[in-house]
Amino acid sequence: MIQPDRIVSTTCPYCGVGCNLQMHVRNETIYRVTTPFDAVVNRGTLCVKGRYGYDYVYNKQRVTTPLIRKKLQKPGKRTQAFDLDEWRQVSWDEALDYTTQRLVEIYQRDGSDALAVYCCAKATNEDNYLLQKMFRALFQTNNIDHCTRLCHAGSVVALQMAVGSSAMSNTAAEVIHNDVFILTGANASENHPIIALQMKKAIQKYGAKLIVVDPRRIELVNYATLWLPEKPGTDVPVFSAMAHVILKEKLFNPEFIDTRTENFQDFAASMEKFTPEFAEIVSGVDRNLIVAAARMYASAKNGAIYWALGIPQHVHGTDNALALINLALLTGHIGRLGTGLNPLRGQNNVQGASDSGAMPWHYPGYQRVDDEAAAIKFEKGWNQPSGSLNRQLGLTTTEIVSHIAPDGVRAIHIMGENPMMSEPDLNHTRHQFEQLEFLVGQDLFINESHAFADVFLPAATFAEKDGTFTNTDRRVQRVRQVIPPRGESRADWEIICDLAQRIEARLEVPTARWDYAHPSEILEEMGTLVTEYAGVKYKRIEQVGLQTPVYDDNHPGTPFLFAEKFPRGRGKFHPLEYHACAESIDQEYPFILTTGRVLEHWHGGSLTRHSWLDDLYPEALVEINPVDAEALGVKSGDTVNVRSRRGSIHLRCKVTEKTTPGVVFIPFHFHEAPANILTIEAIDPLAKIPEYKSCAVAVTRASEKDLKNPEAQQARGRY
Same CATH fold assignment for domains 6-58 and 153-347: no
pLDDT of residue 604: 85
18-29 CB burial, b ≥16 within 10 A, e <16: bbbbbbbbeeee
165-196 CB burial, b ≥16 within 10 A, e <16: bbbbbbbbbbbebbbbbbbbbbbbbbbbbbbb
CB-CB neighbours of 288 under 10 Å: 10
For 23, the 3-state DSSP assignment is: strand
pTM for the model: 0.95
| Predicted confidence (pLDDT) at residue 719 exceeds the cutoff of 50 | no
Give the model confidence (pLDDT) of 299-336 as tens digits. 999 999 999 999 999 999 999 999 999 999 999 999 99
Q: Where are the domains of the chain?
A: 6-58, 67-147+349-461+486-529, 153-347, 591-715
- For 384, residues 6+ apart whose C-beta sits below 8 A from its C-beta are 137, 378, 510, 512
Q: How much is the average pLDDT of 341-359?
A: 95
CATH topology (fold) of 591-715: Barwin-like endoglucanases (2.40.40)
Q: What is the CATH number of domain 67-147+349-461+486-529?
A: 3.40.50.740
Q: Which of 213-217, 460-464, 598-602 has the lowest mean pLDDT?
A: 598-602
Q: How confident is the model at residue 714 (pLDDT cuts 50, 70, 90)?
A: very low
Contact between 385 and 140 under an 8 Å Cβ cutoff? The reply is no
- Helix axes of 492-507 and 125-139: crossing angle, nearest 10 degrees: 10
CATH topology (fold) of 153-347: Dimethylsulfoxide Reductase; domain 2 (3.40.228)
Give the model confidence (pLDDT) of 116-175 as tens digits. 999 999 999 999 999 999 999 999 999 999 988 888 899 999 999 999 998 999 999 999
Rounded to whole angstroms, the Cα distance separating 31 from 52 reads: 10
Radius of gyration of the CA atoms of the chain, in A: 25
Q: How confident is the model at residue 716 (pLDDT cuts 50, 70, 90)?
A: very low
CATH topology (fold) of 6-58: N-terminal domain of TfIIb (2.20.25)
Using a 10 angstrom Cβ sphere, with 0-12 exposed, 13-18 middle and 19 or more buried, the burial of residue 118 is buried
Give the model confidence (pLDDT) of 553-573 as tens digits. 999 999 999 999 999 999 999
CB-CB neighbours of 614 under 10 Å: 18
Using a pLDDT cut of 90, give the percent of the chain over it: 93
- For 513, residues 6+ apart whose C-beta sits below 8 A from its C-beta are 382, 383, 525
| Predicted confidence (pLDDT) at residue 491 exceeds the cutoff of 90 | yes
Contact between 677 and 567 under an 8 Å Cβ cutoff? The reply is no
Q: How confident is the model at residue 370 (pLDDT cuts 50, 70, 90)?
A: very high
Which helix H or strand E contains 191, and what residues bound it? helix 188-191
